Each structure stands twice: as structure tokens, then as C-alpha cells.
Amino acid sequence: MADRIDSILRDYFSGRLDLKIKQREYEIRNDRGPADENIGGGKALNKHNRPVEDMRIRIDEDRYRKSLMKQKEDIERWIATFQPDKQKVVKYYYASKTVTWTQVAQQFHIAESTTRSYRTDIKHILGAVL
């Protein structure tokens, strides 16, 4: 069973994390909120009418979107510090669900134990960050 770091890395390298961020923004933009059933009454005197600014604030302050963005930034920041060969191996493995470590080892002409040690190194560091 894959753990949390595996699923986050798979989402990042497969592009699902970007899709989740875009989907959340779409949900916020298209959420109309509860219908106002207050028929009649007076007119609001101090009501501001800035729908674009209000929407931007709602998007920027959304906790779920913020957590997704933080995950993405953390992964990008830490992956950039690793050697290029580690980056390639991990990206190749996590970009597809069907790729095995044996296939990764054959693709990059390295031992399977080396590919697994690359994954372990990256998971330990990202586990502390995420």
C-alpha cells in the first residue's frame, strides 16, 4: 500500500496536483453560495460591489488550495536540490502507475537497489518537509 508521500509524489509528477489546484479554483469561482431568500425589506446602504476583488480574495484565502500550493512549492524546492539522476529516476517512476522499479533500473542502466535507494532518500527528506 502506498503511503502519503508516495501519493503526493505521484500526484505531482503525473500532473494531478496541478489539476487539483485548477479544479479547486474552478469550484470557488463557480460557487454561488446560498440563495438569498430575503425578499423585500430595505436597501443595504453600506454594501460594496467589488465581485472581482471578492473572488480573488476567496481564491487566495482558500485553505485547501493553499495546502495544495504549499505541497507543490515544497516538492519543487526540494526536488531541485537533488542530483539530476535522482530527479530523472523518481520522475520516471512516479509519472506512471504501471512502471516498476525493475523497468526504471533497465531504463537508466542502474541497479534496482540503487533506484530504490534514490526513492528512499527523497521520501525521507520530503517526509520531513511535507
* pLDDT mean by block of 10 residues, the chain; 130 residues: 81 94 92 68 71 86 94 91 90 91 93 92 84
Asked, for residue 39, whether it belongs to a domain, the answer is no
DSSP label at residue 63? H
Q: What is the pLDDT of residue 39?
A: 67
How much is the pTM? 0.78
Q: Which domain holds residue 104?
A: 4-15+50-129
Quote the strand ranges of 1-130, DSSP E: none
Domain assignment present for residue 30? The answer is no
Cell of residue 93, nine digits: 517512476
In a domain, 115, yes or no: yes
Assess if residue 97 is contained within a domain: yes
Phi-psi region of 9 (alpha: psi -120 to 50; beta: other; left: phi over 0): alpha
CB 117 within 8 A of CB 125: no
Q: Is residue 22 part of a domain?
A: no
Cβ distance 105 to 114 under 8 Å?
yes
- Determine, yes or no, domain membership for 106: yes
Instruction: Tell me what pLDDT residue 129 has.
Output: 80
Instruction: Give the count of domains, the chain.
Output: 1
What integer pLDDT is reported at residue 123 of this predicted model? 87
Q: Tell me, yes or no, whether 116 lies in a domain.
A: yes
Instruction: Name the residue type at position 14.
Output: S
